[in-house]
Amino acid sequence: MPSDLENMLVVGVASSALFDLAEADAVFREHGEARYRQYQEEHLADTLQPGVAFPFIKRLLSLNNLSDGAPLVEVIVLSRNDPETGLRVMRSVESHGLNISRAIFMQGRSPYEYMGALNMSLFLSQNEADVRIALGMGFAAGQVFGSPAMDPDGTDLRIAFDFDGVLADDSSERVMQAEGLPAFHAHETEHLEEPLPEGRLFEFLRGINRIQDIEEARVSHDPSYNRRVHVAIVTARNAPSHERVVKTLLSWGVRVNDAFFLGGIEKARILRVLKPHIFFDDQLGHLESAADVIPSVHVPFGVVNEAARRDTGQGQTAGTETSGH
């Protein structure tokens, strides 16, 4: 009987986001595909080290033990490797004890276009071009960078989101960029009762909330149960524009545990204390100052990123997997 992905939280992860492929990528870039194939074959038994998304994926998969029946989470490897060179990736998955059994390997091409068929609510990659195309197709995707979370033995999962351009669309951000902060606050106050349209990562948050619902049911039966999943919003909004965020979340039927309305205070100050296993933001400037310790995901969506591409004439340099792995 075919597996049903409809009721699961499905996440796609590129091999370069899951593992550190810098050494293998250097071989490919310096010596070409033939030498890269030989290198991967020679190192087939050498387990790849964790990449930026590894701790997040590991914690996410561990939530399956909250279910007595079908898994709650499915993670699928999406890779530009061909099946042969992808063997090392899957052996490393097994060596690290990750419960990942499904993968798509497409030589030199990204499998992001299969996200819809696999009911994925998130795709993580180091390849900026793949991420941008996936976003343009209406999928939720982000480019990972920074450092893996440094608490490998815990069981909790801390996720942090920016709001505009990530959970919500960028319609309010467009007002901010075009007319400035006073006009932005006036606009948000005027449209307070009007929920913002959903952004690319809304469905991912809703999937996380479904898992949190299971934990809430456990708390109702056992008040001593410690919730494992914790969700925060870390946004540059402040009063009076903060209220529209709260009302929008309520109208969507989703929730977060904490919200930080920082009003221009550097987000890194909060993130270094919060220590999320992953943080999503649409603005690189908010990510770079904490990327040395915080696993970060750039969601290159909306007006801010459109302006950045116009200013530079090109996108940010793509990471590993650009050359086909």
- By annotation, the residues acting in catalysis are 162
Residues paired with residue 234 on neighbouring β-strands, in sequence order: 260
Identify residue 157 by its one-letter amino acid code. L
Return the bridge partners of 223, or none.
none
Single-letter amino acid, residue 93? V
Q: Compute φ and ψ for 130, nearest 5 degrees.
A: -60, -40
Distance CA 107, CA 21 (A): 16
The H or E element that residue 58 is part of is: helix 54-62
Instruction: Compute the distance between CA of residue 152 and CA of residue 96 in angstroms, rounded to an integer.
Output: 12
- Residues 6+ away with beta carbon under 8 Å from 75: 10, 11, 12, 13, 57, 60, 61, 98, 99, 100
Amino acid occupying residue 287:
L
User: Cα-flanking dihedrals φ and ψ of residue 203, to 5°?
Assistant: -65, -35
Could you count the other beta carbons within 10 Å of the beta carbon of residue 164?
28
Kindly write down the DSSP assignment for every residue of 133-150, as one continuous string: HHHHTT--EEEEES---S
**Distance separating alpha carbons of residues 100 and 120, to the nearest angstrom:** 15
